[in-house]
């Protein structure tokens, strides 16, 4: 719900098309979603390295990092998670307007919230990447020891344990990190971006 009234949009002279032309690649939001420990951060870091080497202008937004600043007033209730995703969607949209390929790594457990982000971006500007990994594998990785805490009841409402994760119904890309190596997953995404002409200005 918007509280702002009497506000009028002011256009810039530089359009997104101008930025495409200068950057020589398109902008988009690569939206990684998956359980904690599925590999969203690891994969987005590795992919960003590859894209950077290819001369693509990128930026990475990561759940843990953004919750240190912009979203430090949000917790993990369903409402706060939705607001977290709404804000990141808006930041992603600004970054797309700025001509960047943005990589976001948030659990984003609700399909409705992810669809809402999709709806504010232009067609083909939202690329949903399901980082698929079964709960057992995520839990055995437990890179931050959070599953252990959740099982011990020290964290309430932990995704996959006592809070839901809704699998994407129609993602652009699925990577299976319990079956594929990190390098394979990176390559699947690079191939998608090349095939769909995101990395060149056509
Ligand atoms: N209750 C609960 N459930 C899930 N995750 C939790 C929780 N409490 C803290 N953490 C840590 O916060 C990271 C998830 O933040 P996100 O912003 O990605 O979550 S969400 O999209 O709003 O659901 C998540 O990071 P990742 O492990 O990288 O996914 C955890 O480190
Ligand atoms: N194929 C893989 N892809 C990504 N991560 C993997 C893979 N195999 C093992 N891992 C490990 O799984 C963990 C994933 O943690 P992280 O990237 O923080 O996940 P998330 O951001 O989804 O919580 C890391 O310790 C990473 O080294």
- pLDDT (tens digit per residue) in 64-101: 899 999 999 999 999 999 999 999 999 999 999 999 99
Q: How far is the CA of 154 from the centre of ligand 1 (A)?
A: 14
Containing domain of residue 132, as a range? 24-195
Extract long-range pairs of 125-128: CB within 8 Å, 24+ residues apart. 125/27, 125/28, 125/29, 125/96, 126/28, 126/29, 126/31, 127/28, 127/29, 127/30, 127/31, 127/172, 127/173, 127/192, 128/31, 128/33, 128/168, 128/170, 128/171, 128/172, 128/173
Asked if 20 contacts 99 with a C-beta cutoff of 8 angstroms, the reply is yes
Asked if 185 contacts 177 with a C-beta cutoff of 8 angstroms, the reply is yes
Query: Which pLDDT score is estimated for 2?
Result: 83
Helix (H) or strand (E) holding 172: none
Comparing C-alpha atoms, which of 100, 89, 80 is closest to residue 26?
Answer: 100
Report if residue 5 sits inside a domain. no
CA distance 139 to 151: 10
Report if residue 18 sits inside a domain. no
Report if residue 29 sits inside a domain. yes
Report if residue 55 sits inside a domain. yes
Query: Which pLDDT score is estimated for 171?
Result: 98
Q: Which residues pair with 101 in a beta bridge?
A: 28, 58
| Minimum CA distance residue for ligand 2 atom 8 | 177
Q: How far is the CA of 107 from the centre of ligand 1 (A)?
A: 6
Report if residue 202 sits inside a domain. no
Query: Which pLDDT score is estimated for 201?
Result: 62
pLDDT at 3 over 90: no
Query: Which pLDDT score is estimated for 16?
Result: 86
What would the mean pLDDT of 3-14 be, rounded to a whole number?
A: 91
Report if residue 4 sits inside a domain. no
Q: How far is the CA of 10 from the centre of ligand 1 (A)?
A: 36
CATH number of the domain at 82, please.
3.40.50.300
Report if residue 187 sits inside a domain. yes
Asked if 148 contacts 134 with a C-beta cutoff of 8 angstroms, the reply is no
Kindly report, residue by residue over 125-146, the tens digit of the pLDDT.
999 999 999 999 999 999 999 9
| Minimum CA distance residue for ligand 2 atom 10 | 39
Report if residue 6 sits inside a domain. no
pLDDT at 202 over 70: no
Query: Which pLDDT score is estimated for 39?
Result: 98
Q: Out of 10-19, 112-121, 153-162, 172-181, pick the least confident.
A: 10-19
- The interface pTM score, or ipTM, of the predicted complex is 0.99
CA distance 163 to 102: 27
Residue 177 Cβ contacting ligand 2 at under 6 Å:
yes
What would the mean pLDDT of 108-118 be, rounded to a whole number?
A: 98
Query: Which pLDDT score is estimated for 63?
Result: 85
**Which tokens is 185 given?**
């997953």
Q: Which ligand is nearest to the CA of 78?
A: 1
Kindly report, residue by residue over 11-62, the tens digit of the pLDDT.
999 998 899 999 999 999 999 999 999 999 999 999 999 999 999 999 999 9
Query: Which pLDDT score is estimated for 161?
Result: 98
Comparing C-alpha atoms, which of 153, 165, 181 is closest to residue 34?
Answer: 165
Q: How many domains does the chain have?
A: 1
């Amino acid at each position: 719900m918007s509280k702002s009234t009497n506000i009028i949009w002011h256009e810039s002279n530089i359009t997104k098309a101008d930025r495409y032309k200068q950057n020589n690649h398109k902008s988009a939001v690569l939206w990684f979603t998956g359980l904690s420990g599925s590999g969203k951060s690891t994969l987005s870091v590795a992919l960003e390295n590859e894209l950077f080497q290819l001369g693509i202008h990128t930026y990475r937004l990561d759940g843990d990092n953004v919750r240190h600043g912009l979203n430090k007033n949000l917790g993990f209730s369903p409402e706060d998670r939705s607001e977290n995703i709404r804000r990141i969607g808006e930041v992603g949209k600004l970054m797309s307007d700025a001509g960047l390929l943005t990589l976001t790594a948030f659990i984003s457990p609700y399909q409705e919230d992810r669809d809402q982000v999709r709806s504010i971006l232009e067609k083909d500007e939202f690329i949903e990447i399901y980082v698929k990994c079964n709960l057992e594998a995520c839990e055995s990785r437990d890179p931050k020891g959070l599953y252990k805490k959740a099982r011990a009841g020290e964290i309430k409402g932990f995704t996959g344990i006592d809070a839901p994760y809704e699998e994407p119904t129609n993602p652009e890309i699925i990577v299976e990190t319990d079956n594929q190596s990190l390098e394979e997953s990176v390559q699947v995404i690079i191939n998608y971006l090349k095939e769909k002409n995101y990395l060149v200005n056509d």
